[in-house]
Structure formats: C-alpha cells, structure tokens
Structure 1
Amino acid sequence: MARQVPAAAVHTVTALLALAPPALLYQIGWLTVSELSTDQLRAWAHQPLNADFIAVLGCAGAEALWVLLVAAVTDHALQYLAARLQWHCTLHLPGPLQALAAALLGTTAVTTAGALPAAAHDHTAADADPPPADRATPTRDAPAQPPPADPSLPRQGPTTASTTASAAPPPTTESARHASPPVLNRTSAHPPPHVSGEKVRVVAGDTLWELAAEHLGDATRWREIYTLNRGQHQANGYALTNPDTIHVGWKLTIPSHQATSAPAPPRPEPPAAGDSGPAAPEAKTTPSAPSAPHTSPAPQRSTPHTPALSTPAETTGATTSASHPERPHTQPYDETGIVLPARGWISIGLAAAIAAVATLLRLQRRRHVQLTFTTPASTTPRSAPVPPPLAHADAIGRRHLGLTSNDQQPAHPTMPAPIGVDGHGTEVSLFRLPGHGLAIRGDGAVPAARAILAAVLTTGAAETASTRPVVVTTADLLGQLLPADVPVVGLDPEGTTYDGERLVVLADTDAAVAHAEEEMTSRRRLLDTFDTTTIADVNARSDHAETPPPYVLLIEPATRHAGRVQAIATHRIALDLHPIVLGPHDGLPTVEITRDGTTRSDRPHSLHRVSTLSAGDLAAVLAMLTDAQARPEPGVEFDDPAAAGTPSVPTVEPCPVPPESPAALVHLRVLGPVTVTTAAGPVTTGMRSGSYMVLAVLAAHPAGRTLHQLTADLHPDVDPASAVKRVRTDITTARRVLRTASGHEEHMFIVFDPATGRYHLDPQTVTVDLWHMLTAINHATTSDNDEEVLAALRRATDLYAGDFAEGHDHPWAVDYATSYRHQILTAYARIAEILEPDHPDRAVAALERATDLDPVNEELYQRIMRIHGRQQRPDAVRRTLRRLEERLADLVDAEPSQATRRVAERQFPPAASRAGRAS
C-alpha cells in the first residue's frame, strides 16, 4: 500500500538540509553575519570580479550539490526500504531541484551513450537480451564462449520440483553479475502490451519464452507477457515478480497477437526500482547453459556493421525447408484416427490391422534375407517393407498394438474388420453392425468402400484360416476402387497360397450374387448337420474340420437382383454373410458418407465416421497382403550365387570410427536396453525415457537429425507443436544429466550444427556400442587374415547385447533393429565359416546362437544342416529341419522352402534318403 508524505514535511526537510552548511560555517567562525546597508550592497554588486566573490559562488554551488546528493541518497534509501517492507514512501523534490536533476541525468545519459565504443552498436540481441538457458540459478565462474544457435535451448523444463518453471533469461555467474560493465541494450524498451483477454494455464515445463512462441507466434515477445502480468497475485498466493520463475497452475494473461511498434521515447528514463527483469545483459556466459541468440532491430548507420544473427527458428526452418521440404508426419492425428497423405482418413483400428500385416510381412522377408559378408556395415537401415503412403499408419498402429522393436511374434488386433467409429470414438466392426447389411452412398462412398475392403482383408492376417474373411466382388467394381494401372485380380491369382483365394473377383453382379447364394446354401446345410443355429456355434466345436470364415459380398446396386440380395441379407447373423451395396438399396440400412468420411442418415446409426482410402493406398494394402501370405516357395540355397543374385546395398551413412582406447566421458549402449554409463558408473536417475530415445536416434544417425526428423521419429502420433516441445525438453534433460554425471559442465554432448540444422552426438565425448560393432565388422570385411577377421567379429558379437533400443515401442526403431540384427547374423555366419574346418562344433554353436536371435532365417538352418551332414549326423539334420518347421508354423504359418528341404535331403545317406522319399 502506497503512502504519500505531506508537502510541508518535504519542504521542511529540504530547508534543513540547505541551512545545514551555512550553520556549520557560522559555528566555526568562517562565516560572519553583519548588518548591510543599501549602499554597501550596491557597491558590492558593481565591484569587479575578485577571489572572494568566486569563493562565495563556489561555496554556494557546493552547497547546492550537497543538497542534491543527500536528497538523491535519501530517495533511493526510501525506495529500497519501501520495496523491502511493502510500504512505498514517495518523496517529491522542489520544482527547481527536479528540473536540475532531470537536466543532469539527461546530460549524463547522452554523454555515456556517446562515449561507448563503436563496437557496442554491433552487439546482437544475444548479448543484450539472452533467452532462457538451462539454469535459472547462478553457477560457478567459467570461461566465456559464444552461444550456439541451438533452437532447443530456449525451451527449457522446470527448474524446481514440479511446481516452478524456468521462465526468462537467468543470471549467469555471481562474479559476472557484480563485475561486468553495462552494455547498451536496444531491445529493453517495450511498449505497454495490448491485452487480448486470453488466459493460459502454466503447466510443467512452460516458460515465458515458450508461451510467447506458442500463443503470440514470436518468442521474443515474452517481455510483454511479463509486463502485463507482473505483480498480479495468483491462486497460490504468489505473484509474478521475477521473469525467471513461474509456477505451475498460474493463469497468465496473453497480450494481443498483433505486436505494437515502440515509439521513440523523448528522453531516457531510469529503470523502475525493484524491477528484477533482465534489463542489462551479462558479460560472461556459463558454457553449460549457452543461450540462443535472436534478432533485434539495429539502428541505421552509414558505416558497415556485423549483421545480427538469425533466430534459431529461422535458421532451422531455412535448413529444414531446403533439405526436408515437408515434415514426415504432418498428418493430423487424434484419439480416433489419422489422416493419410492422400487425403484419406482411417480409424486407429484399421491402422492397427495394417500394422499387423506389416509385422507379418517383416517376418516373411527375414526368412529369405541373404547373409552376404562383402557388403559394408552401416547405421543406415534397409528399406522398410511398408509402402511410404502407409508408413504413418503403420507407426500409429504399432504404437496402438504395443509392439516393440524386438518383438518376434506376429500382432493380433482385437477388433475384426474395423470400418469406422461411433459418436463416442469407439471402434465399430463391420461384423457387429445392426441390421441385415449396409448400403453406402454419397461423395465418400467409393473411398469408404476401399477402406471397408482393406479392413475386411487385413482381419486375422496372423490368425487361423477360420478367422480370415473372404470377400466376393465384381471386376467392374474392383476396377473403380483400384488405380487404372493395377491389375484387377485377387490376392492369389496363381492359386499357390495355403489358404486359397480370399478376394474372389467375378465377372459381374449376377455371378457374385449366385456365388453368395451357393455359400448360403452350403452354410445352411452345415447348420442342419450339426443341429446349431449360427456359424459361430459351428466354429466353436472341435469335432469337425470345416470352419467357414466370415463372408462379405461387395457389389453395386441392381434392381433385378434386389430380392436375391435381400434374401442373403436376411441370414446375415446366422450364416455370417455380410452384404455391402455401393449405392442405394431399399432393404438395407443406408448411410450417406461425405468426402471426409462423416455419415448422415435418416435413421439412427452406430457409424459416426467411416474410414476412407485412396485408390493408391488400397493397392498398397493389397500388395502387402499378397506378399505376406504363406505359400510354397522355391527358396534359395545360400551357396548358389546365381540364384542368390547381388544383394542391394543401401545408401551408407558414415559411421564415426571410435579410437582404440576411447577416452570418452559417456558410454552409450543402444544394442539391448538403452543405457548410459560414465566413469562414476551407470546413470540411473534424472534421465527421461524420451531422452534415452533421443540418444538412440542420434546413435543411429551419426550425421545428425533435424528437429522435425526427431519429432517424426519419436512422436508420430502427437501434435507437432507438442512434439517439438517434448524433444526440446528431452535434449535439455539429457545434456543436464550427462554434465552432472560426468562432472564436465563445459561439454554439450548433444551438439547442434547451425549450418545443417541437425543435432548429433559429439564423438569426442560420447562413444556408442553400435559404432564399435559396425567398425569391427567393417574391419573384418577388409582384412585377409582369418585370425584378425575372427577377432574383429568376436568383438562385434560380444557388443551385440540385444536388439536395437530393446523394450521401446517406437515404430521407427523396428527397421533399424532388423538391419543391425541382420548384420550380426552375417558376422556369426562368417565366424562359422572360419571355425568349421578345425572346430565344427564351435561353428554349429555360433550358428545356433544366431538362430536364437532370428528364428526364421532359413539360411542359418541350411548352414547348420550342411555342417551336420559333413560330420555324418543325420539325426542332427532332422532335428534342425524339425525345429525350423515348428518355428515357421508358429510365427508365420508357413513351411520351409523347397531349397531348404533339398539341402536337408542331400545330407542323408542314399538309403535313408530313398526311405524318406518313400515314406
């Protein structure tokens, strides 16, 4: 509460201060008072200037300066005490003294500004107005270094235990706070912000810098938020008095989005007392908490000057736009579905079904991968089996299914044929819709029919044949759903799969309806045979072999077939027959679908939004299903170079070569669970799970990753703005924890390169087990000495403690784990080749260790059977082949290839081989 001092008291104090010097002079006898006449005064005024007159003027001037000094000291003392005691006392000087003080202060400010070195005009905002750094508390003195243009640094996490967040530029060191000279600050003058009325709630990790960037579009406007909310008491009883600290739960008012231009002030004014805002910059910067520079307008000068540095956002954005014109995950995402690049929308259930097919396809490809030792090892993964348009759906689906990078089992989605969501966002299955079937029409009917076809065919991809639905459609309709250059055929046009055709393509609607009627008659007879009422009851029995799967009829409307279709629809629930008509049909529930998949219906319907696909996306799904189906395969014998061909070599990303005796401060392990170790031991506290994954991503990309690439890898299902904030926080946490654990505050460990906009691990301070493994493999590929090769490969296999980033469910790591697993399998195969002549049992042990890492690779089993055959062990050959059969049946519902069976047959003696063929 402010309290005003009466003017009379002020005048009295001023008079006493002014009379104190004459009284003292009179007391010591230096000043005497005598009676003066008019003639004496007139003579004194006309007398020439002499030494006594000058002495009197000097005394009068000294008295005035003394009064001014005492008044200023008293004023500052009162302001200090008022700020400390929450009691403000305002002291008003007399008018003449106020004018004199203003003139003196103005002259001093102008003189000081003119006396500053010319280099002061070249200071950037990084010197004058640093953004938030890693810490808000003083740290020990350290040598100054230029701050890097690291866009992660302004976004900082909380500085106290879950209740306080770092908010603004902090002081750096104690000595710098007291010893650094003032620097002219051209960015500290901000106009009063215009209030927009918007209030935001502070959450953990927020800063004024982040709030300004998120809500105002310009992080440098954080001062306006501070000015607008300074001194306002919050719900926890505290008020914003220091921009370095804001509390979780505070509600801060946001200025208007339109930034106001600052008018030129008529004269400089001193900063308000008690203002803790960072009005003056510091002369030193703590290396452990470098600040990111940002631009500030420079005055017009005729002489050349150093250009101001660009903001981190501008630097990163420019680099990213050049090398990565589009973010890999710009597709919107919510809790119910995702938007695909081709303007389609699919539910999370359909994305999970696509991810399950992709998982099965990866297992199938691993069966036939060639273990070629001549190709160089690299951190670059092999091409993913998922087409690029479906990569985002695969990533979201894997996250929904909870699959990890080292998951060796097929995925099993719980929702069959997920075609959309209801009004509450719950998945809706085609097989559980009410009514006798479904008729769809509208602008989105064709894209919805594509998604329905994909949802039905991806159901039960890793299940038994009784749960894999069959779709019957016409060639004309399928031609409308697929691109013009894609053949209108089923999933098994050659009839080679074990389960038969699941997409039956017939000539016309009449043939499709007739096929459905035959299926209806057959199923009705099956119900009569077992005296049951539904097909589900028949499939639940275990005393028969026939298990009819769900049957979907997808046709166009035809008036002359309406009665027959209605008859089929009547038995939908009992016979598990599901007619879908692409157009209006009087006897079926009809839903109108818009372009974005939302539905409109005259009657209440459980579908609120239906998944939609483009023609290209449907073709990609059907191609994945065709490749993932189990069928008899010819296979390849690993020692047949003509059949094996030349393996494709991916683009190699350079891998840092670790020194022989690494003196790195941090040891990062990404093969197996991600762990960090320093000289003091394992780092077990303080590190976020996201920080571990940032380190894993950067370990797999020694050349670095941009911020947008990191967010696409780690948070594909998160809003981009939130994902960027998370990655910034994870990087900051990793740096802080590594500095503390290693005891070296001067290192960054995760380095930002402004030239490329990429983050990368510092190979001088961080060593990675993956880099050591790949270096050892590459050394073995270039050596001609078997002893050196064997030693290098053993080093590599010892370093492989598990799959890459084991235990984490990030989809991006799947293909990396598969590639690094393949490289270590190649190393084991080469070890077995070297050991077999003198130590065949050790060679078999190395290969069996490799089969534990990848139980479906057929070349490993071929190598084991060849060694057993050369050692005359037919029983061991049979056991090896039987183990392969069991693993393929359990994982991919497949059988060994013809090439693998031929290898096994050649290892038996002639008599045993003939007996085996006869049996």
Structure 2
Amino acid sequence: MPARRVEVRDVRWPRQLMSLLVVLALLAGPPAVLLFLIGPPVSGWPTTTQMQAWVQQPLTEETLTAALTIGAWLLWLLLAYTVTVRAVTRLQATAAWLRQVPLPTPWQATASGMAGAAVFGVTTHPVTTAAPQPPPPSSAAGSPEQPADATPTPDDRAVSDDGILVPGGWLPRDTAESVAAAAALLWLRRRRDYRPRPLTPNAPDAHTARLPPAVASVQAALADATAPSHAPAPTDSFTALVGVLPTGGLRLSGPGTLPIGRGLLLTAALARHRHPTPTLVVTRAALTDLLGPDAEPLGARLPQLTIAEDPGDAVRIVEGAAPPRMVILAGDDCDADDVTRLAGVTAANGGRLVVLGVWPTGQTWHAAPTGHLHDPTHPDNPAPRLCVLDQVTAVDLLTVIAHREPTTPSPAPPSTPLPQAVTPGPRLPRQSTRGAPHRRPAASHQRLHLRVLGEPTLLIDGEPLTIRRSAAVQVLAFLAAHPNGADTRELTAAIWPGLPRRSLTGRLYTTLSDLRGAIRTASGLHVIDHTDDRYRLNPAHVDVDLWHLHAAIQQAATTVTDTAAAWRAVRDAYPADLAAGRTWPWLDPIREVTRRRVIDACAALADSENDPRRALVLLQDGVDIDPYNADLHARLVTTLTAIGDHEAANQLHNRYRRALAQAGIEDESLDHRATSSTITSRNSPSQP
C-alpha cells in the first residue's frame, strides 16, 4: 500500500510545483513590472498647485496614467489577499488534521527508528485488530462503550477519573454516570408504556424525540473516558456532597455561586433511588435564580425537591417527620435571624444549609467558576470541587430526570419518522480512486452486504471486513439509518456530540478516508458517495438489511390483501435490535421507532389469529423483541388466562414485575390496566 501511494505523489508533484510557480509569478510579477515601468504608485502628497490644476483639467495623460496605476495595484492587492486567505485556511486544516494524528509510543518510535536505519526508509502497514466487543446490553446501567479510536484532545473535552467537562459545566464522574443511567431509564419507560397500533404509512410515534444535547454530551464524554482497570464501587454522591459542607451552614460568594447551586439541585434530584424521602428544600426565590422561567414547572416534577416560600416555611419543613438533608435559599431579601435559626434546625437534623446571597453572621466560602470551594479561614485546606452547570444545561438534565410521560400515546406528529426504503437509483458521480492498493476487480454483479440489525458488520463475499475505527462503524450505521444521506455537520454532531465542530472536521475526514480505503482494498467498490457535502451509501453497491425491513414495513402498511403475510414479512426481517449492544447517543430514537413497528406487526398477527395458542406464540415473539413492553405482557397474560393456564399467567406477571424492579423502573403503568381479579392476567413477564 505505501509503495503505491508514493507512486501517486510522484505523478502529482510536477503539477503541484507548476501551480506554485504560477502563483508566485502572479504575486511577484505585476509589482515588479509596475515598479520598473512606472515607479511607486504614490510618490508623495499632491501640492496645492497640483490640486488646483487637477480641478481645472481633471482628464490629462498624467491623471489617467495615475488612475490606471492605482487600479492595477488594487487588483494585485486583491489577488494577494485571496492567496493569503487560502493559504491560512489550508494551514488551519493541516493543523487540525495533525492534532488528530496519534503520537507514537516509545516502543513504536524505537522500532520505527531501527527499521529506518536498516532500510533507509520507513515502510508502514495497516494494523488490523478485531472489532471491539460490545458492552452487555444493560440499558439501565447507562455506561456507554469505550471507542477504539483516539479520544478527544484536551482542547476538545477534558476527561479524568474524577469528572468530565462538557459544554455548560463540569460533573463528577459518579454524577455523570447517574445522568446516563437516568437517560437509559427514560428510554426503558418509553418502551414499557408504548401500546402497539395498526401499521399505517408514516404512523405517528409519541415520545421518541431525542434527549437534550446536554445528555448526549454526557454520554459521549463517558464513552471517551478510559475506565480504570479496577473500577471503584458506585458511590453515593449526595451523601459525599453533604459531607463536604460544614455543619453550621454555609454562604457561597463568588462567580461560581449559581453554577454550584444548580449542581446541588442535580445531585439531589439524582439521589431518588438511594434516598426515597425528599432530600432537598429550596426557597422559591433561590429556585428562580437558579433555573429561571422554567423553575416552577420543573421543580414541581422533581420528587426529591420541596419548594419553600421563605426561611420560616423552610424551618417548618425541616422540623417535620422526614427532615431533608440539605436546604438552599436565596438570602438577599431574607431576615438574618430566620436564616440563623434555619441553620441551627438543619444542623440538628443532620442536614446542611447553603445560602446563595447575604448572610452576615454565617461563614462564607468562595465559589470558583470551576466548582472549587475555598475556605478563606483555612487557605491551606484542599478545595473540594462540586458539580457546576449553566442554566441551559441544568434545565436539560433536570428535565430528563423529572420526565414523566403519559401512558396513552398522544396524537402528536411523528418526532422520528421511519426512513423510506431505498432502491438502487442512478449512479452518483464517483470520486477518483487512483492509488488504491491491490484492489480486487469488481464483478458487475457484486454487491456488499451491510448488517446493522444486530452487531454492525460489513460482509464481503460473506466474510466480515475488519474495521479498525469504532467511529467508522458508527458512520456506516448512521448512513444505513439515514438512506437519504447526511452532511458533515450531521455526522460530526451525531458521532462526537458536545465537541466544537472546528476540531471534528479533520477527524471525520480521516475516519471516512480510512473506511473507504479499507472497503476499496477488499472489494474494489466505492460504497460511500459524496455529493454536495452529503455522504450517502451507494445502493447499487451495498445491500443493507435495515432497508429491507423498511421496505417490508411500507409494504405491510399499504397492503390490503394478504395482510398476515405482510406482517409476517416484517417480523422475519428483524433478527435483532438496530446496532444491538451499542450505546451511541443518536441511536435510541431510531432504534425505538424501528422496534415499535415490528411489535406492531407481531400484535397485529396475534389479533388476527383465531387459535389462542397460535396467538400465544406470536405474542411471545413480540415480548422477546421488547421484554419491557407492558401492553404485550398484558395481552400475553390475558391469552394464557383464556386458555386456562392461570399458574403460568401468575408466574409470568411476577417475573415481569421483578424485571422492572431490577431495571429501576416504577411499575405504576401496570395497576391501572388491570382489575383486581385479573391483574395477573393483564401483565406478564418475560425475562429481559
């Protein structure tokens, strides 16, 4: 491969050298000619006599010559400016690319030096490794996979064992993992609450919208973080936070006051499973200062949060039967005596008071924008670092945690429409493939097969192609899920959310170049087309299993005869979830829409069966596809009851409730569907 690339450069360098000489001639030639023939454009400021003569007779040979000379110099300046801008742009792109090139390890550098000394040149070969094993498909765990390619540079996203830096704030590692787990639980609740419906073209899908960008940034940052070899046991971040704060109350002062206050809100909201009782009291004024206009409706949906009108109301809440562990209030318009009394009551109940404002008698710590707290009375003490969030990021994360969706789908327009099936169309213009090493001649009938239902795999003549970069696997899956293609912005935002685009363009180009080269080397086919800044899989060269599923769904949604066969074709075209086991942030909405269409077909098949035992098999098939869906379990238990197998219905129901409890999902969606006599007939389990 390297030898062929060198040959290509040898062919191109004379043309590049000629272009450089032409540009230099255009830059240096006109000034030299003008200076030699005419001289400098301006030899000095005109005198009064010359100005009067010019006014009396403006069009003379000298004035016309001067005007033409000045025009020629302006054109040259425009040319020089254009060349300079292009050169700077090219240098910036080169610098961005160089930042993505991984530095060699000491062993690699030593080996390269020895090889260079031996053969007076460096010969490299592509290193192929096995595809990364996907993590266990535990949706509730919320721990994304570790990508195989290089992690972002420190300029992009700072990641450490203690925490992660995302746009809009910094989160401790355990807090970020709790956010990812909350997002995974939200998708599980959506799966549990969905009710199958008849297959129709472009059927509306309620509650499949993407989660806020802040959540995707947290998930991606966790994926970039390198997991330690001995991961510590999960910690109670809220209890650890309470232990950092002094017992007698604390006033925060400094630019990090409000960002830290929002971090306290998030940490308390995430403590629901470890602390079932309310853990935080916040005054209405403090909540408004922290969250802005979204404070009231959002605070009302946070079960760990109790809103107090003023410090006096907060005292009554703290003295109640279940005292909270922390109180936050705004002290600008609060009575100092009330605040002092609240501090004493809170400390007596083992809690902490945090004042965001004026409190003359309390101790004050400086809050830095980074989240560090500094005690001025003990400057040598280590400064603890707390979670810090801006208002937008805090509202986004708290919205996901507080999210409660109705069980009955609303007739809203589709938030994630199912892509149309793709059929091979006219060939798009292909890019030059000169220099591809050892390319296999492509037969006219040869097509590759991309499998994204299950583990993403690209098959060439039935053999899987090793793809070195996990980002390249993501690109293939994303383009398979978007048959109409995607531009650079869409790809970078999906694969590397939360990072500035300026640092990602070079990374995307490197990933695509490596992927295209690997495919061309193995098959001789050009699979990814690039036209008008849109990347698209070429349907004439690659066959995608997801596209066959889309075609079956469209056929089943529009057919009026032999509907059972059309529904069965949908089920047969779905061997597994889209990119099963992967936790890419962009994947959940598309995966959920696809899964819903398949269980729609399973439910329709079961409803069309007159034999309850055959319907039982079809419903069990749907439960295998989505083991968290409550409606499918209710249908399954009802069918078991109808055939008289009450013991199996009871066992199924109990296993299902245990599965929901193990996943951390409340089972409030179950009770309202069943009467007291048939509750076990309405909700049955499958082991997820």
User: Conserved in 2, the CA contact under 8 Å of 1:670 and 1:770?
Assistant: yes
User: Conserved in 2, the CA contact under 8 Å of 1:491 and 1:622?
Assistant: no
Alignment of 1:444-843 (within 5 A): 444-459=256-271, 461=272, 463-466=273-276, 470-484=279-293, 486-487=295-296, 490-491=299-300, 501-518=303-320, 551-557=325-331, 558-561=335-338, 563-568=340-345, 576-583=350-357, 590-595=364-369, 597=371, 599-602=373-376, 603-607=379-383, 609-628=385-404, 635-636=407-408, 646=411, 648-650=413-415, 652=417, 654-658=419-423, 665-679=447-461, 681-685=462-466, 687-716=468-497, 720=501, 723-742=504-523, 744=524, 747-753=525-531, 755=532, 757-786=533-562, 789-834=563-608, 836-837=609-610, 839-843=611-615
What's 1:844 paired with?
A: 616
Structure index of larger Rg: 1
Q: CA deviation at 1:624?
A: 2.9
Q: Return the match for 1:187 from 11, 14, 20.
A: 20
Cα distance between partner residues in 1 of 2:549 and 2:23: 56
Alignment of 1:233-312 (within 5 A): none
Give the secondary structure class of the aligned counterpart of 2:353.
Answer: strand
User: Conserved in 2, the CA contact under 8 Å of 1:443 and 1:595?
Assistant: yes
Q: CA deviation at 1:678?
A: 1.9
Give the secondary structure class of the aligned counterpart of 2:194.
Answer: coil
Cα distance between partner residues in 1 of 2:448 and 2:157: 37
User: Conserved in 2, the CA contact under 8 Å of 1:136 and 1:171?
Assistant: no
Q: CA deviation at 1:596?
A: 5.8
User: Conserved in 2, the CA contact under 8 Å of 1:674 and 1:805?
Assistant: yes
1:333 and 2:208 correspond: no
Q: CA deviation at 1:449?
A: 0.9
Cα distance between partner residues in 1 of 2:627 and 2:233: 23
Q: CA deviation at 1:752?
A: 0.7
Q: CA deviation at 1:696?
A: 0.7
Cα distance between partner residues in 2 of 1:518 and 1:652: 50
User: Conserved in 1, the CA contact under 8 Å of 2:420 and 2:483?
Assistant: yes
Which of 897-906 and 472-481 deviates more?
897-906
TM-score by length of 2: 0.68
Question: How many pairs are equivalent?
Answer: 546
Give the secondary structure class of the aligned counterpart of 1:384.
Answer: coil
What's 1:303 paired with?
A: none
Alignment of 1:161-180 (within 5 A): 170-171=9-10
What's 2:193 paired with?
A: 368
Cα distance between partner residues in 2 of 1:800 and 1:213: 50
* Higher RCO structure (Cα 8 Å, ≥6 apart): 2
Query: Structure 2 regions of 5+ residues with no counterpart?
Result: 26-86, 98-111, 126-153, 426-443, 682-688
1:902 and 2:675 correspond: yes
User: Conserved in 1, the CA contact under 8 Å of 2:453 and 2:546?
Assistant: yes
User: Conserved in 2, the CA contact under 8 Å of 1:664 and 1:765?
Assistant: yes
Give the secondary structure class of the aligned counterpart of 2:402.
Answer: helix
Cα distance per residue 1:243-296 (max 9 Å; x no partner): x97989xxxxxxxxxxxxxxxxxxxxxxxxxxxxxxxxxxxxxxxxxxxxxxxx
Cα distance between partner residues in 2 of 1:183 and 1:452: 59
Cα distance between partner residues in 2 of 1:488 and 1:188: 67
Cα distance per residue 1:593-636 (max 9 Å; x no partner): 2456555542345446543334444444443333359xxx8x55
Cα distance between partner residues in 2 of 1:805 and 1:906: 35
Give the secondary structure class of the aligned counterpart of 2:484.
Answer: coil
Cα gap change, 1:626/1:824 in structure 2, threshold over 3 Å: closer, same or farther?
same
Cα distance between partner residues in 1 of 2:306 and 2:93: 58
Q: CA deviation at 1:784?
A: 1.6
Cα distance between partner residues in 2 of 1:464 and 1:597: 24
Cα distance between partner residues in 2 of 1:707 and 1:862: 45
User: Conserved in 1, the CA contact under 8 Å of 2:329 and 2:355?
Assistant: yes
Q: CA deviation at 1:333?
A: 2.3
Cα distance between partner residues in 1 of 2:197 and 2:601: 9
Cα gap change, 1:816/1:769 in structure 2, threshold over 3 Å: closer, same or farther?
same
1:414 and 2:266 correspond: no
Cα gap change, 1:649/1:490 in structure 2, threshold over 3 Å: closer, same or farther?
closer
Q: CA deviation at 1:553?
A: 1.5
Give the secondary structure class of the aligned counterpart of 2:296.
Answer: coil
Name the aligned partner's letter for residue 666 of structure 2. Answer: D
Cα distance between partner residues in 2 of 1:492 and 1:413: 30
User: Conserved in 2, the CA contact under 8 Å of 1:705 and 1:760?
Assistant: yes
Cα distance between partner residues in 1 of 2:17 and 2:337: 88
TM-score by length of 1: 0.52
User: Which has the larger helix fraction?
Assistant: 2
Query: Structure 1 regions of 5+ residues with no counterpart?
Result: 1-134, 139-158, 160-165, 193-211, 223-233, 249-329, 403-411, 419-427, 494-500, 524-549, 637-643, 909-919
User: Conserved in 2, the CA contact under 8 Å of 1:885 and 1:895?
Assistant: no
User: Conserved in 1, the CA contact under 8 Å of 2:96 and 2:503?
Assistant: no
Cα gap change, 1:182/1:337 in structure 2, threshold over 3 Å: closer, same or farther?
closer
Cα distance between partner residues in 1 of 2:292 and 2:549: 45
Alignment of 1:876-887 (within 5 A): 876-887=648-659
